[in-house]
Amino acid sequence: MDDFKPSELWDLCLREAEKTLETTEYESWLKNSVYEDINGTRLVIRFRNSFVAGHVKSRFGGMLEEMVREISGRNDLALQFVGDPAKPGPSRRESAPQENGPSTTDSMYLRSNYTFDHFVVGPNNQLAHAGALAVSSDAGTTTYNPLFIYGGVGLGKTHLIQAIAHQLRREGSRRTFRYLSTEYVVGTFINCVLQKDYTRFRKLFQGIDYLLMDDIQFLEGKVETQEAFFHRFNELHQQGKQIVLTSDRPPHELKDLPERLISRFQWGLVADIKPPEYETRLAILMLLVRDEELDVSHEVLDYIASSIRKNVRQLSGVIHRLAAISRLTGCNIDMNLAQKEIKSTLGTISRRLTPGTITSAVAGVFDISPAQLKGKQRKRNILVPRQVAIFLIRELTSMSLKDIGAFFSGRDHSTVLNSIERVTELRENDPELDRRIEEIKRKLVSI
Ligand code: ADP
Ligand code: MG
């Protein structure tokens, strides 16, 4: 958002939404919304009444938030939808155009460009892509059931699962599906608990040939939803319905999930997506540039592909922002502009990953205080986390050994080196520690 005013950001988001939604839908719900204010990291958007605001939140909230994050390059931004209280009586009815529209209130929205055509296949995502293609083209066969796709943030999981949905929705296809975010499923379940009526929850899983459920890691810790979902899963599976799930981790790394659910996730095909190699990154950039109808030299694309290596969302974010800047100001996308943009994209990340944030994250996971981590005590339950913090700071920041030592109460650089070697060794023999380190890393990189 360093590049845009919040109001511009909302306008860009609306333009993106207009491309994705049906025209009538866009016009009924979003067109007249206005940016009102920014409250910390929350953009406040005003609608003509609270009914419309509530409706937009439940139907498009997740999608709009994702768009705003992608365009701004800031994962911490959130949206708040407000409206004046709806007038009682007939006017409330009047402001409910969804009564004539398609009944999709129980399903989430698909991004129009998240199709197989727009997905670049590389060695990093080959298996997941092949699995997705197989389940969407093989009517009636359920060799890969469930298909479980996992991988880090911004690597194309949502894109692939929505590509399946697009494929199923094509003209002539008789297969019915429901695409759901796991957060939505959990939310629906909680509402049903409150109302003591589980009809809505059950309906989510009825009358469909395909269940496409995104971000299944959100089931962690939701014991009752897990239980209810377990039964729905079994029912669908027994009926030979296809299930596709995505997660930011492989099934066995999901915490607090019952073993029987985890083992069911492993029944079919488990496929991972890794960060893309240079060639794939370049191919993705070329596709994005073509879509946005931009004129960008190979040199600039090469520079972007070489600088952003871990996350495809950042790649597309950079292109969207460059496109927006060039449209707003009329300037060309040259090396200068690209360098500035990359610096601010990577800068936002490195600003977040300070020794302080890393130490706090480590302390949180090991349940000790940051002060203890930085202090002198050498008890094992503190020593190992301290070594882990040192290891992660070295890996995730560009701090020198000397500076890291200074941060940990003036230790010298050989102590820092020792810690790094020790953790490398420990990880190989201690899968639990290895898992915790990966967990901390994931938390830090996805903030
Ligand atoms: P995830 O769900 O894994 O966090 P997304 O599916 O939202 O990630 O992908 C982030 C962005 O990167 C999206 O804009 C998506 O279109 C794009 N993307 C990811 N992988 C690819 C790919 N292989 N080809 C083209 N675009 C991709
Ligand atoms: Mg996703």
Edge-to-edge strand list for the sheet holding 177-181: 177-181, 210-214, 242-247, 147-151, 269-273
Nearest CA to ligand 1 atom 14: 313
Any atom of ligand 1 within 6 Å of the Cβ of 313: yes
Residues 6+ apart with CB under 8 A from 233: 146, 243, 261, 264
pLDDT for 398 equals: 74
Q: How far apart are CA 214 and CA 163, in angstroms?
A: 12
Q: How many CA atoms lie within 13 A of 144 on its CB side?
A: 21
Question: Which atom of ligand 1 lies closest to the CA of 118?
Answer: 25
Residues 6+ apart with CB under 8 A from 302: 282
> Which helix H or strand E contains 183, and what residues bound it?
helix 182-195
Q: Which SS3 state, helix, strand or coil, does residue 179 take?
A: strand
Q: How far apart are CA 190 and CA 170, in angstroms?
A: 33
pLDDT for 103 equals: 30
Q: Give the angle subtended at the CA of 275 by the CAs of 272 and 280, to the nearest 5°.
A: 110
Residue linked to tokens 């988001």:
13
Q: Which of 185, 207, 211, 209 is nearest to 198 (CA)?
A: 185
Token couple for 284: 């993705």
Residues 6+ apart with CB under 8 A from 21: 30, 60, 109
> Which helix H or strand E contains 392, and what residues bound it?
helix 380-396
**Average pLDDT along the chain, 447 residues, taken 10 residues at a time:** 75 86 86 88 90 88 86 84 63 34 48 92 97 81 88 94 92 85 90 93 94 95 95 95 96 92 96 96 96 92 91 90 87 92 76 83 90 90 94 85 91 91 90 87 68
Nearest CA to ligand 1 atom 25: 119
Q: Which SS3 state, helix, strand or coil, does residue 215 take?
A: coil
- Would you say 192 and 159 are in contact if contact means Cβ atoms under 8 Å apart? no
Q: What's the gap in Å between 393 CA and the centre of ligand 2?
A: 27
Any atom of ligand 1 within 6 Å of the Cβ of 284: yes
Residue linked to tokens 């009329």:
330
Any atom of ligand 1 within 6 Å of the Cβ of 131: no
Q: Is the dihedral of CA 13, 14, 20, 21 positive or negative?
A: positive
Q: Are strands 269-273 and 147-151 parallel, antiparallel or unpaired?
A: parallel
Any atom of ligand 1 within 6 Å of the Cβ of 181: no
Q: Which SS3 state, helix, strand or coil, does residue 233 take?
A: helix
Nearest CA to ligand 1 atom 9: 156
pLDDT for 85 equals: 61
Which DSSP string do the residues of 399-422 spell out, in sequence order?
A: --HHHHHHHTTT--HHHHHHHHHH
Q: What's the gap in Å between 376 CA and the centre of ligand 1?
A: 44
Q: Are strands 269-273 and 34-39 parallel, antiparallel or unpaired?
A: unpaired
Any atom of ligand 1 within 6 Å of the Cβ of 129: no
Which DSSP string do the residues of 184-197 spell out, in sequence order?
A: HHHHHHHHHHHHT-
Any atom of ligand 1 within 6 Å of the Cβ of 154: yes
pLDDT for 91 equals: 38
Any atom of ligand 1 within 6 Å of the Cβ of 119: yes
- Secondary-structure percent of the chain, ordered helix, strand, coil, rounded to 5: 60, 10, 30
